[in-house]
Amino acid sequence: MSGHTYKVCCCFHRRFAITAAEAPPEIKAMFDRYSDNGLMDAERLRRFLIEVQKQENATVEEAQRIMEGLHDLKHLNLFHRRAIHLDTFFRFLFGDSNPPLSPLIGVHHDMTAPLSHYFIHTGHNSYLTGNQLSSDCSDVPIIQALQRGVRVIELDIWPNSAKDNVEVLHGRTLTTPVELIKCLKSIKDHAFSASEYPVVITLEDHLTPDLQAKVAEMVTQTFGEILFSPGSECLKEFPSPESLKKRIIISTKPPKEYLESKELKGKEDESQKEKDSAYEEAWGREVPDITTDVKDDTDEGMDDQDAEDLDDGDPKSQQIAAPEYKRLIAIHAGKGKGGLQDWLRVDPDKVRRLSLSEQELEKAVITHGKEIVRFTQRNILRVYPKGIRFDSSNYNPLIGWMHGAQMVAFNMQGYGRSLWVMHGMFKANGGCGYVKKPDFLLKLGSNNEVFDPRATLPVKTTLKVTVYMGEGWHLDFRPTHFDPYSPPDFYTRVGIAGVPADTVMKKTKPIEDNWVPVWNEEFEFPLTVPELALLRIEVHEYDMSEKDDFGGQTCLPVSELRSGIRAVPLHSQKGEKYKSVKLLMRFQFV
C-alpha cells in the first residue's frame, strides 16, 4: 500500500495516517547480506532459502520460480526478471506462499499402526449448537465439526416422548431434540469431506432393547458397507486408520442382560445431585424433569459393578440386550469391575475404550500416571468435560495427551484458548484428524519403564521466536473497532502449551497508535518434550480502562514448524482465518 490513508473521528476530528508496511531493520540487514548492489538474483535467493529458511534442498530453479511469481513480468525487462529488490523480497517473506507450516507435506505420519497409537480429533456432545442446558440440538454442528476434520462424533440417544423412536439430546436439560436418523444421514454425507480417515461415533445410550434394535436398523441402513462391524466379540487389537479409510465405527458400552432395580435408580439419582445443584445455581431455577432416566455425563452407562450390586430379590424389569445392536459395536467401552486400578488393567487378549471425566483424570494422574500411559499403549482413553461446564467451555487437553489419551473430547462450540490449542494440535499431519503419538508414549524404555509425565527431563531443544511485525488489521476491521479516537496499541503474546515444564507465555511491549506495529522482539523457549509442544500466538490491543481487545490468534504444532522467517496468518476467536491479518516472525531451533 503506498501513500497515506486518513480516517477522521467525528468527535475530535483528529486525523491519523495508516503508514504503509515496510521491511523492518532486521529484514533490510538480511537482504543486504544476500544481495549485491540492491539486487538479489536466483543464486543468492537459493542461498538465503538454504541458510536462513533451512530448506536444504532448495535449487536455483525453485528460486527462479519464486522470483517469477513475485514479478509482474509484462512491465519488466529481461535483466530485472532475473533479480529482485528489497520491497519484492519483503513481499515474498510476508506473502501467502511463505506459511509457518508446509502446505505441501499433507499426511506424512505412519498410518498403519493401531488406532490406539494416535491422538484423534474428538468432539463432545457434537449435536449442541450452544450451551449444555438450553441450546438447540441439530445436525449443523456435526456437519461443521466433520468439515473441520473432527473424527469422533458423540451422540446422546434417548427415547422420544412416545417411546417409539430415537432422539438426540442432552438429557435432563432444556435442549430441544433432533432425530437420530437426521444426524446419521448428515454424518454419512459429510464424514469424509475433510479427511478420508475413519469417523468414530460414540453413543451415550439411554435406550430400551426394542429401541436399540431400531438404532441397529437405522445405522445398518444408513451406512451400509462403509460401517466397520467386526461382530459382537471384543477386538484383540485395534485396526489401523489406513485400513479403515472411509469407514464408520460405532463405539459404546455393549448392552448386557441385567436387572434394573430401585436401588440402582437411587444410585443414579445420587450421581446427578452435583449437576442439578450447579444447574440451579447457574440458572436460578429448578432442573426440568424431562425424563426419569438419569445418568451422569459419561457414555460408559451402567458399570459391571452396578449390575453386580443389584438386589436380585427386588427386580423392576428384565432387560434383554438387542443382539443386532451389540454386533454393530466395534470399539467396546466400559469401566469394568472395581476402582481405578481395575479400570486400567491391560488385557492381553482384548482392547477396549475407557472414559474418564476431566476431574477423574486429574485425580487419577496423581496416583496412577504411569498406569494410564501403559493402558493407552494398547487401549483407548476418552476424556470428557466435567458435567458442570454448562457454558460449553473446555479444559487443558495436554493433561490427557501427555498421558497418551487418544480421545480428548471437546465442545467444538466452546471457543477459547483450550480450543485454539486443540485446533493447533490437529493442524499436524495434514489436518487429517489423526496425529501419531510420540514413540515414548507407545513403547517401553530399556528397563521396561513407561514415560512419566511428572518427571523432570533435560532440555531437548530450544525454540527461538522473533516477532518482527504485523499487518492487515486496517483491512479486516473497521477503523474504530479497537479505539474510536486513535490507532490501536497492539502487543503480541507468544508461548508454549505443552508438558508443565515447557508451558509458558510471554509478551511484547505494546506499540502505540499504529495499525502496522513493529516489535522486533525475540523470545527463547527451552523444550523438554518438544514432541508435545504447541506454539501459541495471540495479538491483543492494549486498553487502559477496559479489557484488552482481541486482535487474532493461532496455535502451531512445534514438531511441524518451518524454520526461518515466515508469514503467520492469524485467526478469529472461532478459529476462522482472517483475510489479511498476519505476523512476520522467525523460528529457529538452537
Give the model's pLDDT for residue 136. 94
* Stretch 240-252: mean pLDDT: 98
Amino acid at 394: N
Same domain membership, residue 475 and residue 378: no
Q: At what angle do helices 180-190 and 140-147 cross, to 10 degrees?
A: 20
pLDDT value for 16 = 55
CATH number at residue 70: 1.10.238.10
Is residue 273 scored above 50 in pLDDT? yes
- At 282, the amino acid letter reads A
Report residue 434 as a C-alpha cell.
489423526
540 is catalytic: no
Please determine, for residue 261, whether its predicted confidence score (pLDDT) is greater than 60.
Answer: no
Predicted confidence (pLDDT) at residue 351 exceeds the cutoff of 70: yes
Range in 267-276, 512-521, 526-535 with the lowest mean pLDDT: 267-276
pLDDT of residue 13: 41
d(CA 221, CA 36): 69
What's the mean pLDDT in 497-522?
A: 97
Based on the fold, state whether residues 484 and 432 are members of the same structural domain. no
Tens of pLDDT, residues 354-401: 999 999 999 999 999 999 999 999 999 999 999 889 999 999 999 999
Residues 246, 120: one domain? yes
DSSP string over 372-412: HHHHHHHSEEEEE--TT-TT-----THHHHTTT-SEEEE-T
| pTM, full prediction | 0.88
Please tell me whether residues 200 and 337 are part of one structural domain: yes
557-569: per-residue pLDDT in tens?
Answer: 999 999 999 999 9
What is the model's pLDDT at position 233?
79
Q: Judge if 389 and 481 occupy the same domain.
A: no
In a domain, 18, yes or no: no
3-state secondary structure 415-430: CCHHHHHHHHHCCCHH
> Is residue 30 a part of any domain in this protein?
yes
Quickly state the pLDDT bin for 272 (edges 50, 70, 90).
low
194: in domain: yes
Say whether both 52 and 188 belong to one domain.
no
- Region 470-493: mean pLDDT is 94
Per-residue pLDDT at 292 exceeds 50 = no
Q: What is the pLDDT of residue 563?
A: 98
Contact 461, 527 (CB under 8 A): yes
pLDDT at 304 over 60: no
pLDDT in tens, 77-123: 444 568 999 999 999 999 999 999 998 889 999 999 999 999 999 99
Please calculate the CA angle 79-83-87 and round it to the nearest 5 degrees: 125
* Alpha-carbon torsion, ordered 230, 231, 235, 240, to 10 deg: 10
Which of 117, 121, 170, 206 is labelled catalytic?
A: 170
Is 491 in contact with 523 (CB distance < 8 Å)? Answer: no
Classify 356 as helix, strand or coil. Answer: strand
Confidence of residue 549 (pLDDT cuts 50, 70, 90): very high
Residues 479 and 343 in one domain: no
Confidence category of residue 280, pLDDT binned at 50, 70, 90: low
Highest mean pLDDT pick, 14-18, 257-261, 540-544: 540-544
Range with the poorest average pLDDT among 86-95, 249-258, 544-553: 249-258
Using an 8 Å Cβ cutoff, are 136 and 130 in contact? yes
Alpha carbons 230 and 249: distance in angstroms, whole number: 10
C-alpha cell at 3: 501513500
Q: What pLDDT score was predicted for residue 338?
A: 87
Residue 197 inside a domain? The answer is yes
410 domain residue, yes or no: yes
Q: How far apart are CA 471 and CA 244, in angstroms?
A: 43
Which amino acid type is present at position 272? Answer: Q
Domain count for the chain, please give it.
Answer: 3
Domain co-membership, 179 together with 218 = yes
* Span 125-168, pLDDT tens digits: 999 999 999 999 999 999 999 999 999 999 999 999 999 999 99
Q: How confident is the model at residue 284 (pLDDT cuts 50, 70, 90)?
A: low
pLDDT digits (tens, 9 = 90+) for 22-47: 999 999 999 999 999 999 999 999 99
Domain boundary among the residues 441, 476, 501 is at 441
Whether 395 maps to a domain, the answer reads yes
- Average pLDDT over the chain reads 87
| Cβ 258 vs Cβ 301: under 8 Å | no
Give me the CATH number covering residue 532. 2.60.40.150
Candidates 124, 206, 332, 474; catalytic one: 124
Grid cell locating 38: 540492491
Cell of 298: 459419561
Q: Is residue 76 located within the same domain as residue 135?
A: no
Could you write out the three-class secondary structure of 77-140? CHHHHCEECHHHHHHHHCCCCCCCECCCCCCCCCCCCCHHHEEECEECCCCECCCCCCCEECCH
Same-domain status, 462 and 365 = no
Rounded percentage of the chain residues whose pLDDT exceeds 70: 84
pLDDT at 251 over 60: yes
Reply yes or no on whether the pLDDT at 75 is more than 80. no
Last residue of a domain, one of 441, 471, 488: 441
Cβ neighbours of 358 (radius 10 Å): 21
The answer to whether position 15 is within a domain reads no
Give residue 263's pLDDT: 41
**Closest CA relative to residue 5, chosen from 469, 484, 482, 487:** 487
Q: What is the 3-state secondary structure (H, E, C) of 558-580?
A: HHHECCEEEEEEEECCCCCEEEE
What range defines the domain where residue 469 resides? 456-589
Residues 214-220, mean pLDDT to the nearest whole number: 97
Q: Do 180 and 325 belong together in one domain? A: yes
Task: Tell whether the model's pLDDT for residue 274 goes beyond 60.
Answer: no
Concerning whether 571 is annotated as a catalytic residue, the answer is: no
Check pLDDT > 70 for residue 552: yes
Q: Answer yes or no: do 239 and 172 share one domain.
A: yes
* Side chain identity at residue 458, one-letter code: P
314 assigned to some structural domain: no
Percent of the chain with pLDDT over 90: 76
* pLDDT of residue 190 exceeding 60: yes
